[in-house]
């Protein structure tokens, strides 16, 4: 029995050495990619959650962002809907605890008033940030103290309304979701 185990271990070592000799790669490189450079082990590409502008009022200064865009695009809060390597604006939020504007129509639970202000940054890949704290710091650096990445549940989930506006109304923006393991480009 011992001899069989030793022979299997020796065969395994010889296979690894042959792989290294013929590919000219180190052990980590040989494990990370095949001969065409495609990943064969490791983490799959990550996706992050995005929202899109759904409308804004020039009279009240209130905008609505949400999961589903007016172009028919949809988000995926469970697994993310956009590759973290794609450059998109970050959607930022500042909580002011502002009362609901009188001009705002009464919304459903999915279109709740957030009590704050929203804005967006220039395009940046979601993978730029290792943690949500780093993304929040980037936001504070861009807009000032108290600004953070907008959260999926900012207005009770799926959509929210706030004062402010975003850059390009036709682009999706990175948002954070705190109660899912998937769906974000960064760690918590």
Residue that has been written with the tokens 């995926």 in this structure: 76
Residue that has been written with the tokens 């013929």 in this structure: 22
pLDDT beneath 50, residues of the chain: 2-40
pLDDT of amino acid 172: 96
35-82 pLDDT, tens digit each = 444 444 556 679 999 999 999 988 889 999 999 888 888 999 999 999
Predicted TM-score of the model (pTM): 0.74
Buried/exposed code over 61-74 (b: 16+ C-beta within 10 A; e: otherwise): ebbbbbbebeeeee
The answer to whether 114 and 93 are in contact (CB under 8 A) is yes
The answer to whether 170 and 56 are in contact (CB under 8 A) is no
């Amino acid at each position: 029995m011992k001899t069989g185990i030793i022979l299997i271990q020796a065969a395994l070592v010889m296979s690894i050495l042959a792989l290294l000799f013929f590919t000219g790669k180190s052990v980590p490189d040989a494990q990370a990619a095949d001969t065409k450079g495609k990943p064969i082990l490791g983490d799959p590409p990550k996706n992050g959650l995005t929202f899109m502008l759904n409308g804004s009022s020039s009279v009240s200064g209130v905008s609505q962002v949400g999961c589903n865009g007016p172009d028919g695009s949809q988000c995926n809060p469970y697994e993310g809907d956009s590759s973290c390597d794609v450059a998109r604006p970050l959607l930022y939020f500042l909580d002011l605890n502002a009362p609901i504007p009188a001009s705002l129509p009464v919304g459903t639970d999915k279109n709740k008033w957030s009590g704050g202000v929203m804005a967006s940054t220039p395009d940046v890949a979601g993978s730029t940030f290792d943690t949500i704290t780093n993304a929040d710091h980037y936001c504070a650096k861009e807009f000032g103290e108290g600004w953070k990445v907008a959260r999926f549940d900012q207005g009770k989930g799926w959509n929210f309304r706030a004062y402010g506006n975003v850059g390009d109304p036709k682009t999706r923006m990175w948002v954070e979701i705190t109660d899912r393991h998937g769906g974000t480009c960064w760690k918590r």
